Amino acid sequence: MSGAGPAPRPLRDRLLEAVLVLVLLGLLVAARRLFPSLGAGAGTIASVGILLLGGTVVANLLELVGLPHLTGYLLAGVAAGPYLLNLVDHRAVEELTPVNALALSLIALAGGAELRLASLRTGLRSLGWATLWQNVLVMVVLAGVFVAARPLLPFLRGVPTLAVVGVALVWGVMAVTRSPSAVLGILSQTRAKGPLASFTLNFVMTSDVVVVVLLAMALTLARPLVLPGSELSLSAVKELGVEVLGSISVGTTIGLFLAAYLRLVKAGLVVMLIALGLVFTEVFDYLHFDWLLIFMTAGFVVQNLSKQGERFVEAIDSMGEIVYVIFFGVAGAHLDLGVLRTLWPVALLFAGARGITTFVAGHVASRYAGDPPALRRWGWAGLVSQAGLALGIANTISQEFPAFGAGLGALAVAAVAMNEMVGPVLFKVALDRSGETRGEAEEVEPAEGAAVFDP
């Protein structure tokens, strides 16, 4: 994700575009009212068009006040979704799941390809301290907040204290998840370069593996506390090892295949990537592999174990922001505004506690690592966003502990929605303030033993 960004567009062009899209959306609403028997397939295709048009227009308008494009995509999805205008109904949202999986697989490929060994090696000190403090402190504090907030959570009434502690452990793991898709989306828009952009990208892409390990350990400890009669078993850890190692092996194989394809065929890579994203996500899911880890590993292999990395990144970039419009538009349409309206006070408590703890952990880690000034001030800002992985963990909790799964899932959706809205804005502000979106990243002589970045 390199190169200069496009020149700013005049306000007149943005307003004219918005008017034209509003007219088109009005015609679509009228057509649906006049022809309610519109086929499901046509309705799904129209939903994709609504999200693409609406997301692009809202993003262009919000750009005038300095907000990131991702915020526009999310707001367009919320507005068009089943809980407001219902231009994209519940059935269409479900039918867009394969398209959303395709977008996420392409984001994972791009994220893996942006991880460069040179950058990881030079930033290893900062990455290590941040991984330790961000994961341990956030997990412990948010688990404590969950236990303390027990009187505010109706689904925990009558639940024994030990069971609440068990669920709190897994909730703490959910709190340490980040959003690689949000970080990559902001970096794709801003073309930011510098210590902050490099550190944030490296952290969020590697943190997913850490979260998978923490989740298996937390579930192993939580089951005996929550489910009477359950015993402490390390089988989940063994299954995790098989899943992680298997996913990395499959990802390495796909990466080597893509590198050979780029070298020998040199055409049709976009079609190949779309086929991989549409077909193999279902196959890997069926085989119980982590397909996000597979695609991230594949992108990493192409970038670092072949000479095709730049061409590979250019091929993914050629799809432009369409991938992010679809992914975050569908995410916005998924947001249940009724749940958010009901649970916003306690969700705000969790989101606020997580944000404050992320801020504190970032400053402590930077002090130990001897980070440059930009990273000391803003290294925490890109770690606030959450998205699909957090909701996936919430779904896992609901399946493991069905007694309070529905309430816990609703609370997770509300908390993640707040982080999803605030996180991208914070990260873009941090990149702007540090000068990295203008190619003016701070270049200071680091302290002795400090990490040096070479993005």
Measured between alpha carbons, how far apart are the two ends of the chain, in Å?
11
Domain count, the chain: 2
CA distances from 187 to 101, 196, 430 (A): 21, 11, 12
Let me know if residue 5 belongs to a domain: no
* 36 CB-near residues (< 8 Å, 6+ apart): none
| Domain contains 300 | yes
Copy the structure tokens of residue 450.
Answer: 């400090």
Structure tokens at 241: 């090892």
If asked whether residues 69 and 193 sit together in one domain, one would say no
Same domain, 118 and 249: yes
How far apart are alpha carbons 146 and 351 in whole angstroms? 11
Tokens of 394: 């919430």
149-155 LR contacts (CB < 8 Å, sep 24+): 149/346, 149/349, 149/350, 152/345, 152/346, 152/349, 153/346, 153/407, 153/411, 154/407, 155/404, 155/406, 155/407, 155/408
Is residue 6 in some structural domain? no
Alpha-carbon gap, residue 266 to 269, rounded angstroms: 7
Domain that residue 320 falls in: 100-438
The first and second tokens of residue 286, run together, are 């069926």
pLDDT in tens, the chain (455 residues): 444 445 566 777 777 777 877 777 777 767 666 766 554 455 667 788 888 888 888 888 888 888 888 888 888 888 888 888 788 888 888 888 888 888 888 888 888 888 888 888 888 899 999 999 999 999 999 999 999 999 888 888 888 888 889 889 989 998 999 988 889 889 888 888 889 999 999 999 888 788 888 888 888 888 888 877 666 666 666 777 788 888 899 999 999 999 998 888 877 777 888 888 888 888 887 777 888 888 989 999 999 988 888 888 888 877 767 888 888 888 888 777 877 788 888 999 999 999 999 999 999 999 999 999 889 999 999 999 987 677 777 777 777 777 776 778 788 888 888 888 899 999 999 999 999 986 544 443 343 443 333 33
What is the rounded CA–CA span in Å between residue 33 and residue 217? 52
How far apart, in whole angstroms, are the C-alpha atoms of residue 213 and residue 401? Answer: 19
Same structural domain, 90 and 105: no
Residue 304 and residue 179 in one domain: yes
Look at residues 72, 78, 67, 76 and name the one whose alpha carbon lies nearest to residue 417: 78
Give CA separation, 312 vs 197, 255, 298, 317, 369, in Å.
Answer: 20, 11, 11, 9, 33
0.85 exceeded by pTM: no
3-class secondary-structure state, position 222:
helix
Question: What are 198's two structure tokens?
Answer: 């490099």
Are 120 and 76 within one domain?
Answer: no
Q: Are residues 343 and 285 in the same domain?
A: yes
Q: Is residue 450 part of a domain?
A: no
Cβ-based neighbours of 6, under 8 Å, separated by 6 or more = none
Same domain for 133 and 165, yes or no, is: yes
Q: Is 233 left (phi over 0), alpha (psi -120 to 50) or beta?
A: beta
- Residues whose CB falls within 8 Å of the CB of residue 108, separated by 6 or more in sequence, listed in order: 180, 291, 292, 295, 296, 299
Residue 447 lies in a domain: no
Is residue 55 within 8 A of residue 323, CB to CB? The reply is no
Q: 153 with 69, same domain?
A: no
Whose CA is closest to 304, among 242, 258, 244, 250? 258
One domain for residues 185 and 253: yes
User: Do 45 and 172 reside in the same domain of the chain?
Assistant: no
Asked if 57 contacts 21 with a C-beta cutoff of 8 angstroms, the reply is yes
CATH number at residue 302: 1.20.1530.20
Q: Which residue has the tokens 């867009």?
A: 96
Residue 455 lies in a domain: no
